[in-house]
């Protein structure tokens, strides 16, 4: 449907945009890891209303349980 030259340019443009998107994701991941390590993980439990951090995973006010690993809704749930 497209000429070979146009196909090559389309591949180059898609590859470049994919690379830039990947670079942006890696940069965001590095920033979030840096912020988490900088705050020693306290920002992860900030939304929890419990003053004792050890009770945060069992509190209904905490939006997530940081002691569990959720693989998939129908998959394995591992308690740590």
User: Do residues 45 and 62 make contact, with C-beta atoms less than 8 angstroms apart?
Assistant: yes
- φ and ψ at 77, to 5 degrees? -115, 115
Contact 2, 10 (CB under 8 A): yes
Which pLDDT band, with edges at 50, 70 and 90, does 54 fall under? low
pLDDT in tens, 9-37: 999 999 999 999 999 999 999 998 888 88
Q: How confident is the model at residue 49 (pLDDT cuts 50, 70, 90)?
A: low
Separation between Cα atoms, residue 46 and residue 24, nearest integer Å:
26
């Amino acid at each position: 449907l497209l000429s070979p030259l146009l196909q090559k340019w389309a591949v180059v443009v898609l590859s470049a945009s994919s690379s830039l998107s990947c670079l942006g994701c890696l940069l965001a991941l590095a920033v979030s890891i840096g912020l988490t390590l900088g705050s020693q993980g306290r920002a992860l439990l900030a939304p929890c209303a419990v003053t004792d951090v050890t009770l945060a995973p069992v509190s209904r006010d905490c939006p997530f349980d940081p002691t569990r690993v959720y693989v998939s809704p129908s998959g394995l749930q591992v308690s740590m």
